């Protein structure tokens, strides 16, 4: 578990550790998502009850988890894209700049996404 | 000051080997597109969540969207489980444990894509109320 140590190892190691942790969170969510979607087979009433419960209560704490999940997904995607560009030799010399640039763009995109997603659920 | 650690970024390339690492990177690039489209459709443009059931069904009745989601499941499952493999390999497992991890995750991949594909097809065949 040496990869988990981030003290005094620089931003590169922090990016690496968070890439893995965020990946594990997304894998867990992927299977949870498949489980929830399986309820489509149980019919309209059951599925809509679940969606309603996790959106408007009593289990609306899931909205907070959804926001955290979105944060994790945007982080993972932006850092992953940076690593993909690194594979092509792009951005290696200015990698610290690339890291903050990509994450900055991702966080702006996240805020825009959350704004519109909030408009979406606020209809109810 | 430039961070030396970032000039040679740590990845799972060594643990996974070049072929699986390239597949990991390629599927990751595809997923930025797939996840972007999915987030837009499911969380912004789809309408009210309470009518989600109908809108999902209507969407999945379109063969192109059905194909999109099946491809999504296949690609995301590969990226996810290959990523998990890289993390486990990086702990230094060797020999039979490493082989067991590989077989186990391959089986998990096959099970996931079969289930995900069957679910997508089953949902596409439900009649919209």
Whether residue B70 is contained in a domain is answered as yes
- CB-nearest to A92 from B7, B29, B57 is B7
* Domains identified in chain B, total number: 1
- Window 43-72 of B: residues touching A by CB (8 A cutoff) are 43-44, 46, 48-54, 56-57
Q: What pLDDT does A6 receive?
A: 65
Q: Is residue B12 part of a domain?
A: no
Which residue segment(s) compose the domain that B102 sits in?
17-124
Tell me what the mean pLDDT of segment A46-61 comes to: 89
Instruction: Give the total residue count for chain A.
Output: 124
| Min distance A89 CA to chain B CA atoms (Å) | 10
Of B14 and A48, the one with more pLDDT: A48
Q: State ipTM.
A: 0.90
Please indicate, yes or no, if residue B78 is contained in any of the structural domains: yes
Q: What is the pLDDT of residue B1?
A: 41
B4 belongs to a structural domain: no
Q: For residue B8, tell me if it sits in a domain.
A: no
Q: Taking the model in full, what pTM does it have?
A: 0.90
Q: What is the pLDDT of residues A60-101, one digit of tens each?
A: 899 999 999 999 999 999 999 998 898 888 888 888 899 999
Contacts of A81 in chain B (CB under 8 A): 28-29, 32
pLDDT reported for residue A50: 92
Long-range contacts from B41-49, C-beta under 8 angstroms, 24+ separation: B43/A113, B43/A116, B43/A117, B43/A120, B44/A113, B44/A116, B44/A117, B44/A120, B46/A120, B48/A120, B48/A123, B48/A124, B49/A51, B49/A52, B49/A55, B49/A120, B49/A121, B49/A124
Q: Is residue B40 part of a domain?
A: yes
Give the CATH number for residue B109.
Answer: 1.20.1300.10
Output the pLDDT for position B9.
Answer: 67
Residues of chain B below pLDDT 70: 1-10, 46-51
Q: Contact B105/B81 with Cβ under 8 angstroms? A: yes
What are the pLDDT digits (tens) for A2-35?
666 666 667 888 898 999 999 999 999 999 999 9
């Amino acid at each position: 578990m040496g990869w988990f140590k981030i003290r005094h190892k620089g931003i590169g190691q922090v990016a690496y550790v968070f890439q893995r942790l965020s990946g594990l969170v997304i894998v867990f969510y992927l299977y949870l998502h498949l489980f929830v979607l399986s309820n489509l087979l149980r019919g309209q009433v059951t599925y809509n009850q679940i969606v309603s419960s996790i959106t408007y209560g009593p289990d609306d704490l899931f909205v907070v988890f959804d926001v955290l999940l979105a944060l994790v997904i945007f982080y993972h995607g932006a850092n992953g894209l940076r690593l993909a560009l690194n594979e092509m030799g792009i951005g290696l010399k200015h990698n610290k700049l690339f890291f903050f640039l990509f994450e900055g763009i991702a966080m702006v995109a996240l805020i825009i996404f959350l704004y519109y997603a909030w408009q979406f659920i606020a209809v109810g | 000051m430039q961070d030396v650690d970032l000039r040679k970024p740590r990845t799972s390339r060594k643990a996974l080997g070049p072929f699986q690492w390239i597949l990991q990177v390629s599927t990751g690039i595809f997923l930025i597109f797939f996840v972007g489209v999915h987030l837009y459709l499911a969380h912004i443009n789809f309408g009210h969540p309470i009518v989600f059931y109908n809108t999902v069904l209507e969407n999945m009745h379109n063969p192109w969207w059905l194909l999109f989601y099946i491809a999504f499941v296949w690609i995301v499952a590969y990226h996810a489980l290959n990523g998990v493999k890289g993390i486990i390999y990086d702990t230094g497992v060797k020999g039979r444990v490493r082989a067991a991890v590989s077989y186990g995750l391959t089986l998990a991949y096959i099970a996931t894509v079969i289930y995900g594909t069957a679910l997508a097809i089953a949902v596409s065949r439900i009649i919209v109320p």
